[in-house]
Amino acid sequence: MSIKTPPQSPPAWTHTPDQIASQTAAIIEYTKKLDDEVSADAEFTFESVVKRLANADNIRYGQVNQLTFYQHVSSDKALRDASRAAEEKFREFDIEASMREDLFKAVNTVFKKDPVVDPESKRLLQKINKDFERNGLALPLEKREELKALQKKLSNLEVKYNKALGEENGFILFTEEELLGVPKDIVNSYDVVDGKRKMTFKYPDLFPVMKYAKNPDTRRRAFVGDQNKVKENGDLLIEAVKIRAQIASILGYATHAAYILEERMAKSPDHVLTFLTDLRSKLAGIGQNEIKKLLALKEEDEKALGISHDTEFNVWDYRYFDRLLLEKEYKVDSQKISEYFPLQSTVEKMLSIFENLFALKFVEVADLEKSAWHPDVKQFAVWKDGLVEDEFVGWLYFDLHPRDGKYGHAANFNLSPGYTDKNGKRVYPVTALVCNFSKPTADKPSLLKHDEVVTFFHELGHGIHDLVSVTTYGRFHGTNVARDFVEAPSQMLEYWCWQPTQLKSLSSHYLEPSQTIDENLIANIVQSKHVNGGLFNLRQLHFALFDLKLHTSDGNIDVNKEWNQGREEVSLMKQGSEMTYGYGSFGHLMGGYDSGYYGYLWSQVFAADIFYTKFKANPMYTPVGLQYRDTILKRGGSREELDNLKELLGREPNNDAFLHELGVGSH
């Protein structure tokens, strides 16, 4: 296509710490003034109240998201600190605004009139009114003041917890001998301190040690060090759990989980517990058989290394023996496979899959003078492939390598939602993928392991959800769906990374680009998909059950026992006499997934159902891709998720495909 100029410029990433502070103050001042005006309105109509608030929110979401995003990606500590301070101020202001009786009165008056408006506007009115009710606006003043104080305290705890996690810079020094088995190029990438190699707890450093170090004590030290890297955060989490329980109680809910789940697809803690318990019982037998197999492999390995046999299967053994099993029985050599997935070409080929499936075009924009926050970042203008003319859909950023102070996992950040402005003009979304893949070296490009290919595809799925969504209001845009559905679209797209044809099309050897991955390696990867799947999902169940246990309590709970004993009982792996404090770095619980971690497993039910029903027969069939794009992704959260699913599937969703995938059902 001829390169056209997008109708909307990308954001400028030129803020200074002072500008972040002044813009934060200006946004808050403007929003407060608007809230005052709306509350003082004499008429209380949909246009004068809800529409005005929504129009302001549409613009504000993007402004706030950009200012608070720097904390995750900027290499300038002063900018990160200013961004974090801005988030605290926005959170405090939002708490104040959400507790305004006069604003609730205005919205509630419109709600009671029930004006005849379009379905998305009606949903918006219902949601805003419900938000106020859930914030306790129907309570007496003294209770509201108590709630406000608790919510501010909770917000500060969450910011403090995430700051400690984001700024974490711990490490362990290992001798070269202790790192025996870890690939040489990885060991050589570690800094040298006092004659030893410095392993940080960033994933590209940590995971190779957990997967390859032959010395079990090296693995144990790496695992325990990582678990305990921000031990002090544990107290913040417990304090937060207690405050959440208090807030729920004041609002008339039995527990924090009951409060949260009211707005989710699952609806109640009992429903979630039944789902998790049932899944645990189905997976326990599979997990025990997998442990037996891994223990036999462990005995064999220890014999070959001349190490005395340890009859327990420890949690720090998992990644090492999982990798060994894949190599020995399934001939899955992660290092060898990664040679076929150099980052640059793999990403280009992934984008072409989305281009074919969803009729999109990605055009890289090289001039990043003011358009990105770091030189590593790539930026794309994204277009919808039209019959007559291409239609712009939004901006996409990739920030893919680790650096000091940067967010340490893989995630998609919506930087600005799409919406229709007050003049009826379309405003387009801006979204970013932030990942931590190994950096290129002097003699090798960045190479992706197969699980990293899956991770990238997953996060790109969230980005695509953001880009192709078309809603009137920013509140419902893209991934702004029920939290226990949000992962389903991305989990569904992971299936492409296990299809032989797609794997071949994604591959290209980094030394000989014309050489794709051979059929045998592909067969081995596909065969290995559910190897130790029981243990993998039991680990997820441990996290989900831990989260639910915390948030159905009042916070007076032995968190160490729940974390450590719970892990041994649920995940079936031992940790000897080690006491770990991994809940201090369980960022989900202080980042919006409180009472929601079950959602990763819950949404897999929908992901499997969609893939098996619509795509399994022909994963690259564009008409089905477009149907899925327009029924699920395009609508964002503007309709009930279950209604969209039923429309796509032609029936109620079920868990048959999910259980089949786990090996506990037939399909």
The residue written with tokens 């159902």 in the block is 609
Distance of alpha carbon 375 from alpha carbon 368, whole angstroms: 8
Tell me, what amino acid is at 356? Answer: N
Distance of alpha carbon 452 from alpha carbon 432, whole angstroms: 17
Interhelix angle 233-250/533-551, nearest 10 degrees: 60
Question: 104: closest CA among 37, 36, 39?
Answer: 39
Q: 173 pairs with which residues across the strands? A: 198
**Cβ contact 577:602 at 8 Å:** no
- Options 88, 158, 459, 487, the catalytic residue: 459
Distance of alpha carbon 467 from alpha carbon 478, whole angstroms: 7
**Sheet arrangement for strand 391-399:** 360-364, 378-384, 391-399, 430-434, 411-416
Distance of alpha carbon 477 from alpha carbon 638, whole angstroms: 8
Burial class (CB in 10 A: 0-12, 13-18, 19+), 666: exposed
Q: How do 430-434 and 411-416 pair as beta strands?
A: antiparallel
Question: 631: closest CA among 473, 491, 469, 483?
Answer: 469
Where in 304-437 does DSSP place strands (E)?
360-364, 378-384, 391-399, 411-416, 419-420, 426-427, 430-434
Distance of alpha carbon 641 from alpha carbon 471, whole angstroms: 14
Tokens of residue 118, six digits: 């379009």
Question: 83: closest CA among 159, 134, 12, 143?
Answer: 159
CA atoms within 13 A on the CB side of 606: 25
Q: How do 196-200 and 191-193 pair as beta strands?
A: antiparallel
Can you spell out the DSSP letters for 104-121? HHHHHHHHHH-----HHH
Distance of alpha carbon 352 from alpha carbon 357, whole angstroms: 9
Dihedral of alpha carbons 343, 348, 349, 355, sign: positive
Tokens of residue 63, six digits: 């402004």
* Neighbouring C-beta atoms of residue 558, cutoff 10 Å: 9
Is residue 459 part of the annotated active site? The answer reads: yes
Can you spell out the DSSP letters for 437-488? PPPP-SS---B--HHHHHHHHHHHHHHHHHHH---SSGGGSTT-S-TTTTTH
Residues recognised as catalytic? 459
